[in-house]
Structure 1
Amino acid sequence: MPQNTTDTIEVRATAKYVRIAPRKARAVISLIRNLPVAKALEVLQFSTRAASEDVAKVLRSAIANAENNNHLRGDDLIVKLAYVDEGPTLKRVRPRAKGSASRINKRMSHITVVVAPRKEA
């Protein structure tokens, strides 16, 4: 929930039910925490991880929310919070030897990015 006090404005964006394992998405999210948004987008652009596209999409959405809804400048924002929660798991079955089967878990993620204005101190 955005905190609309005079000194702290936080703007968030969330992507739910993203079909990537949370463990893989958390590795990408940890790269952008506490970075200015321009630097974070640059890091994500050159990352070879598959989750970087989904995280970049959420980050761009958070920047757009800040610019359009809260009238903040996109250049002055930093990634204050970024985290990945686990979503529901699709359970699938794969045939194995001697007529048995094993379960394949296809995991989903909920990706949240919170941006805030940079402190000029």
Structure 2
Amino acid sequence: MQVRALARGVRMSPQKARLVVDAIRGRAAVEALAFLDTSPKAASEVVAKILRSALANAANNFSLNTDGMVVVTATADKGPTLPRRFRPRARGQAGVIEKKTTHITVVVSNDIEPTRRGYKRKPA
């Protein structure tokens, strides 16, 4: 069964969040948490929190065992940009400094075997 958790409007660039999200996709959840706890990237703290939330959703809402969970999909999509202030540019123009936001989604499942690259289904 697939269980998901998401965080919307995280104040972080989607490009920077995708570096971390791409690294955990297809890994076992325990292995992904170990990776995120040791990663120096700022996005790893946010993604680890979302992954822990997905595991808690599986345990509390669906009564699933979280030991064999695998990160099936993990995405970092672009959220709304917040225009904050202006920066002077050439010839009297003004450039807008935008603050980027990200929607991060993590889906875990216990029906799939972990692999190094991607994932594959268990035989039925």
Sort the TM-score into its range (normalised by shorter chain). 0.7 to 0.9
TM-score normalised to structure 1 length? 0.86
Q: Distance in 2 between matches of 1:24 and 1:39?
A: 21
**Matches of 1:87 and 1:49, distance apart in 2:** 20
Answer yes or no: is 1:63 the counterpart of 2:68. Answer: no
Report if aligned partners of 2:87, 2:97 keep a CA contact under 8 Å in 1.
no
Corresponding residue for 2:95? 102
Name the residue aligned to 1:4: none
Structure 2 unaligned spans of 5+? 114-121
Q: In structure 1, what is the Cα distance between the partners aligned to 2:79 and 2:65?
A: 32
- Look up the equivalent residue of 2:87 and give its one-letter code: P
Number of the residue aligned with 2:118: none
Deviations 1:30-72 (A, max 9, x none): 1100111110000000111111111001000000000111111
CA contact (8 A) 2:5 2:51 kept: yes
Structure 1 residue 93, shift from structure 2 partner: 2.3
Note if contact 1:85-1:109 (Cα within 8 Å) is conserved in structure 2: yes
SS at match of 1:26: helix
Does the residue aligned with 1:41 lie in a helix, a strand or coil? helix
Unpaired runs of at least 5, structure 1? 1-8
Aligned counterpart for 2:42 among listed residues 42, 50, 55: 50
1:82 aligns with 2:60: no
Query: Identity of aligned pairs, percent?
Result: 47
Q: Does 1:93 align with 2:88?
A: no
Equivalent residue number for residue 3 of structure 1: none
Which of 11, 28, 37 is residue 19 of structure 1 equivalent to? Answer: 11
Pick which of 47-56 and 98-107 moved more.
Answer: 98-107
Cα RMSD (Å) of the superposition?
A: 1.6
Counterpart contact for 1:93–1:101, Cα < 8 Å: no
